[in-house]
Amino acid sequence: MSLTYINEYETYQISDEALNDPTFRDDLIALGLDPRTGEGRGTRSAIAIDGGRNTTNNLLEAKRGYVAAIHLEQAGTWLGGTWDYFELTSEGRYFRSLNDRIVFAVQGRAGSLDAIGDPEIKIDITYEGPDPVVTTVDSTFYRALESAVKRRHPDATVTPMVVPYGTDSNGYRPRGVKSYGFTPVIVPAEAVMSMHGDAEYLPIDAVAPAIQVLFEALKETVAK
């Protein structure tokens, strides 16, 4: 049996291909990676206990007996590390000689890795606002936005969506003002990944077409 203290500083990074794919953004955050750089780092600080038993005649060329091993490991912020988890792995091997040339052998391995603490996220609501008002898509302005987009991008699909944040429109909609969050720009994946970061940007050549789409939509709405 042995007792071991582990302290390792780890860094890891995903490929540029995955980083530049906007559909991976939520997964990167869930894995503890910075969605802007695709990098993660932390310290694994843990205590491990290993135990085992060996009854074979020769571990390197076993013909009879068994080997059993168990590994227990607990990491935690209380040890100065970044992650809290408990790991349990076990392994068993059995050998039996059938004759001078044939040995029957069986090996099995099992394990588990679990986070320590309550897996449920508890949220304290400090302010609960009124239910949001949804602007109808059956309006002259929405149809004008849709047609302006399709004139420039015939294959585009214009559809409403839900976003997990609010804008000033939350104050306008309850007062009857039709409001749409609408940014008709086509940007590379790098620009999408820069959103809400220190280096957020839009390519200059994407701004003029977006302004034209908005202008045409407003012009069509006023005309009706």
109 with 209, same domain? no
Task: For residues 102 and 206, state if they share a domain.
Answer: no
Residue 46 near residue 75, CB atoms below 8 Å: yes
Tens-of-pLDDT digits for all 224 residues of the chain? Answer: 899 999 999 888 888 888 888 787 778 777 777 877 888 888 999 999 999 999 998 878 888 899 999 999 999 888 888 888 899 999 999 999 888 888 899 999 999 988 876 556 666 777 777 777 888 889 999 999 999 999 988 998 888 887 777 788 888 888 888 888 888 888 888 888 888 788 888 889 989 999 999 999 999 999 97
Residues 145 and 215 in one domain: yes
Residues 6+ apart with CB under 8 A from 185: 202, 206, 207, 209, 210
Q: Has residue 125 been placed in a domain? A: no
On whether residue 127 sits in a domain, the answer given is no
Residue ending a domain, among 115, 131, 158, is 115
Which domain CATH number covers 209? 1.10.150.900
In a domain? residue 134: no
Supply the pTM of this predicted model.
0.47
Residue 78 belongs to a domain = yes
- Identify whether residues 151 and 77 lie together within a single domain: no
Same domain, 97 and 190: no
Number of domains composing the chain: 2
Does 126 fall in a domain?
A: no
Q: Which domain holds residue 179?
A: 140-223
Helix axes 204-223, 140-152, angle to 10 degrees: 140
